[in-house]
């Protein structure tokens, strides 16, 4: 396969990634299926997408996955009408993908737990009108002092019919990789990690990840992407590359400030 490392994070590169998983016989499972499973396939992949911004981009990755018989899990936010898009949520679910709630209520309520859980319930009800949501995932908000996962130190998501949380309900044997910061090596992750887990696998480019898939040395993957990062043309690529570089620089200074 002809690969061009100079243009990573394009939809073409994402299709190569998905094709590699299909070609190497990884069984795609959703987060809900993982949390309900009594026994997992010998080789499996969980594809997760956090729709932090630009929800129409979710349709592009969802269509690629549908073409390759890959079912994924898509988490949508609710903070404004531009992010909570019932038409897009419905279309993605009709392609066979799981829909979940990308919650950030502790941050929205400035650390007030009582208000946050009420807001969580109200927002979850919005989803339930469209899809039977069974899993949720916190939105990282790296600039906030609040970790939205802390909500579950006081409350139990199972009280709302939720099976699990995309970070808190994952076993340490799962190999987690994310595209945060425009690479796969966790260098720019402030909150996109599984608590109390040290990742043993780190790769830089998507081509490196494809090579790892094709090596046959790994039997499971939990892959997080942000669809707005995967470009469909050169203008998008330059725009999102520049934006990611600025965000990464900000995270570097934030990490230094926290150290001081």
Q: Provide φ and ψ at 86, rounded to 5°.
A: -55, -40
Q: Which of 161, 50, 144, 154 is nearest to 103 (CA)?
A: 50
> What are the tokens at 119?
């807001």
pLDDT of residue 205: 94
pLDDT of residue 26: 98
Domain count within the chain: 1
Half-sphere exposure of 97 (CA within 13 A, CB side): 30
Q: Which of 225, 138, 210, 135 is nearest to 177 (CA)?
A: 225
- Given the structure tokens 């709302």, which residue do they identify? 160
pLDDT single digits (tens) 113-153: 999 999 999 999 999 999 999 999 999 877 788 999 999 99
pLDDT higher than 50, residue 254:
no
pLDDT higher than 90, residue 4:
no
Q: Kindly tell me the number of DSSP H helices and DSSP E strands found in the chain.
A: 8, 8
CA–CA distance, 27 with 220 (Å, rounded to integer): 9
If 0-12 CB within 10 Å is exposed, 13-18 middle and 19+ buried, where does residue 125 land?
exposed
5 falls in which pLDDT band (50, 70, 90)?
very low
CA–CA distance, 48 with 50 (Å, rounded to integer): 7
pLDDT single digits (tens) 44-70: 999 999 999 999 999 999 999 999 999
2 falls in which pLDDT band (50, 70, 90)?
very low
pLDDT of residue 248: 47
pLDDT higher than 50, residue 89:
yes
Task: Give the 3-state secondary structure of residue 145.
Answer: coil
The conformation of residue 26, written as its DSSP 8-state character, comes to P
**Domain residue limits at 202:** 5-259
Q: pTM value?
A: 0.90
> What are the tokens at 21?
């998983």
For residue 114, what is the domain's CATH number?
A: 3.20.20.370
Contact present, 149 and 138 (Cβ < 8 Å)? yes
Mean pLDDT of 147-171: 97
Contact present, 124 and 117 (Cβ < 8 Å)? no
């Amino acid at each position: 396969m002809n690969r061009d490392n100079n243009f990573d994070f394009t939809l073409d590169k994402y299709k190569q990634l998905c094709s590699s998983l299909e070609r190497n016989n990884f069984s795609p499972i959703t987060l809900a299926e993982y949390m309900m499973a009594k026994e997992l396939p010998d080789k499996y992949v969980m594809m997760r997408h956090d729709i932090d911004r630009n929800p129409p981009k979710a349709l592009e990755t969802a269509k690629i996955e549908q073409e390759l018989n890959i079912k994924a899990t898509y988490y949508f936010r609710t903070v404004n009408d531009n992010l909570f898009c019932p038409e897009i949520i419905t279309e993605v679910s009709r392609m066979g993908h799981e829909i979940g709630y990308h919650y950030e209520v502790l941050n929205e309520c400035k650390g007030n737990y009582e208000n946050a859980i009420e807001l969580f319930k109200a927002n979850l009800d919005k989803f339930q009108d469209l899809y039977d949501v069974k899993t949720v995932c916190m939105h990282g908000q790296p600039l906030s002092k609040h970790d939205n996962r802390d909500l579950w130190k006081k409350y139990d998501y199972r009280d709302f019919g939720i099976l699990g949380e995309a970070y808190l309900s994952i076993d340490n044997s799962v190999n987690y990789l994310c595209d945060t910061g425009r690479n796969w090596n966790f260098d720019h992750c402030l909150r996109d990690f599984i608590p109390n887990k040290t990742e043993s696998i780190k790769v830089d480019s998507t081509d490196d990840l494809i090579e790892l898939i094709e090596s046959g040395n790994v039997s499971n993957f939990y892959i997080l992407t942000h669809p707005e990062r995967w470009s469909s043309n050169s203008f998008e690529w330059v725009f999102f590359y520049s934006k990611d570089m600025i965000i990464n620089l900000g995270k570097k200074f934030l990490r230094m400030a926290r150290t001081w």
